[in-house]
Amino acid sequence: MRQLGFDVDDGGTPGAGQVTLKAGGVPERALTVAADATLGGTSTSIEGTIALPAVAPVTADLAVRLGSDDIGPVLALAGPRLASLTMSLPLDLSARVTAAGNRISATDIAGSFAGTPTAGALSLDLAPARPAVGGELSFGELEAAGLAEIALGAGTLEPPIDAATPWPEIPFGASIADGLDGDVAVRVRRVGIAEGLDLDDVTLHLRSSSNAFAVDDISGVFAGGRATGSLVIKRGGNGTADIALRAQVAGAALDDIVWQRAGRPVATGRFDLDLDVEGVGRSLAGVISGLGGGGSFRATDGVLRSFNPAAFGAVIRAADAGLDLNDAEIARAFTSHVDAGDLVFAGIEGSFSLAGGTLRAPRLEVSGSRAETVGSAVVDLTRGTLSSDWSLSIDPGADAVTGAQPQVGILFRGQATAPERTIDVTAFTAYLTLRAFEREVRRVEAMQSDILERETFARQVKRIRQDREQALRDAEAARIAAERAAAERAAEERAALERAEAERAEAERAAAEQAAEEERAAAERAAQERAAEEERARQPAEMDLLPGVSPEVQQFAPQTGGPGTDTAPPAEDDFGDLIRQKLEQLPLEPLPPPIDVGPSPGGG
């Protein structure tokens, strides 16, 4: 190989080799060549023409075919840049190689490289001080680590044997692209980023210059969304590498990047990511430990599994039914219910920062859900561990208490690919305890209120009874007073009647006495008249001749008849009878009723 101009590493052990070369023609015009070579498990065949003019550039037009079970050992013969290749690189390629002076082109490249379909065209311009490579290639599958190793050295990104550290600690080696400028467009059906994470339908550019190597203009489908970005690697003179990654993801499936629990992703939805990070180190582990930068994250229209907000209501009802209010029992009950349902959200949004290889997202806000949910996350990239705390709480409504709310902490700790979940119910236990206390206070207050109400009712009943009894007593007193008044009125009426009767009797008696007095007076007058008549009778008869004597008086006068007449005066009784008769013949008005004038002034 040294005879062919290769700087062979003495450590290379490609095995036995054989070369067969056939050539014919005039070298200066056209030399027909046919060559076959084998070296271990590698074989190649070349057919075509070569022109070697004395004063003009060399030209060639060759059909080249190269096949190998593992081209790595053969490439190692080219020098230390490729000697560190450890991965198996089987290939089977064919191409048309043309040369014209300092420019070499390989077109119609077809076959497979490292087990993946390969096609395209490349060109190499040897005229500049730094040869320039251009062209385009397409592959079925590639690994992102393999692309980065072009600048970081072959094999430096191989996964570590010791699982205690997730990142390779192999020092970066010489860049395969060192000394070359280039811009090769690459199309890949799938690029493996990490275990379970792929970028599909990828287009990118491999660019190399004196100061950097870049995997640039990356565009592809990531988890059903669109991903774009660039990876720029700048090598330092002391073996360090400055690696800068910028990436944007839009509309990717969240369930493709989160871990799984019980065979299901812990979250679903669509997410957007904006990432800008950079780190410097002599190995990938060193770069990660010094990684800094930041970005933002947003997920939409998804579900957080085993975040059932209805678990609060179920545990509250269980507490009302007698569940012991201690952390262990409440955690057991809450866990069984929180796993029975999911939390639907409209969005999860937050920003994060990177410093010293640690990613911190201090606040991830969940919107559009039935519960108030806020989270935070810390990812130690150097160890690949996750520490994430989520607060899940609800509006208790009528069950609200002062100084506490139904809230639990859902904590994730461990490896970022499969952290363990624990549930912190300390705040929820405090809420349930305070709620139970307030319920007891309300129960006691209700009992006291009931007692006071009963006492008030009893007082009201007693007052009503007393008022009724007082009303009855007042009615009875009124009745007695009315009866007494009626009796007094009756007595007064009887007394008035008696007085009237007495007055009437007195009037009758007075009238009778008056009548008797008048009768006596009449009798006396009659007696007097009879006496007067008798006296007149004894007087001479000439009294009849006296003028002015009434016939009635004259009849009582003594009659002087003829001789021998002797008329006696009327008797006294006859005179009284005559007076009485006259009085009875007189028209008399009835006496008025007696008038009660009351006692005389000053009388008793």
What average pLDDT score do residues 34-49 get?
Answer: 92
Instruction: Assess whether pLDDT exceeds 60 at residue 545.
Output: no
Q: What's the CA gap between 402 and 441, in Å, rounded?
A: 13
337 contacts 406 by C-beta, under 8 angstroms:
no
Burial class (CB in 10 A: 0-12, 13-18, 19+), 96: middle
Task: Output the pLDDT for position 574.
Answer: 62
Residue that wins the pLDDT comparison between 529 and 218: 218
Residue that wins the pLDDT comparison between 93 and 503: 93
Q: What's the CA gap between 208 and 182, in Å, rounded?
A: 5
Instruction: Assess whether pLDDT exceeds 60 at residue 591.
Output: no
Residue that wins the pLDDT comparison between 201 and 570: 201
Task: Output the pLDDT for position 30.
Answer: 87
Task: Output the pLDDT for position 200.
Answer: 97
What average pLDDT score do residues 229-238 get?
Answer: 92
DSSP 326: S
Most confident option among 118-127, 366-375, 542-551, 561-570: 118-127
Instruction: Assess whether pLDDT exceeds 80 at residue 597.
Output: no
Lowest mean pLDDT among 91-105, 107-121, 471-485, 546-560: 546-560
What average pLDDT score do residues 569-576 get?
Answer: 57
**80: which 2 tokens?**
């230390």
Task: Output the pLDDT for position 604.
Answer: 42
Boundaries of every domain in the chain? 1-127, 137-256+273-280, 310-424, 433-543+550-559+569-585
What average pLDDT score do residues 99-108 get?
Answer: 94
Task: Output the pLDDT for position 579.
Answer: 66
Residue that wins the pLDDT comparison between 44 and 74: 44
Residues 6+ away with beta carbon under 8 Å from 38: 17, 18, 19, 44
Instruction: Assess whether pLDDT exceeds 90 at residue 356.
Output: yes
The helices-and-strands tally (H runs, E runs) of the chain is: 9, 23
Task: Output the pLDDT for position 586.
Answer: 61
Mean pLDDT of all residues in the chain?
A: 85
**192: which 2 tokens?**
């493996």
Alpha-carbon distance values, 437 to 318, 320, 446 (Å): 16, 12, 14
Task: Output the pLDDT for position 221.
Answer: 97
Helix residue ranges, H only, 381-425:
none
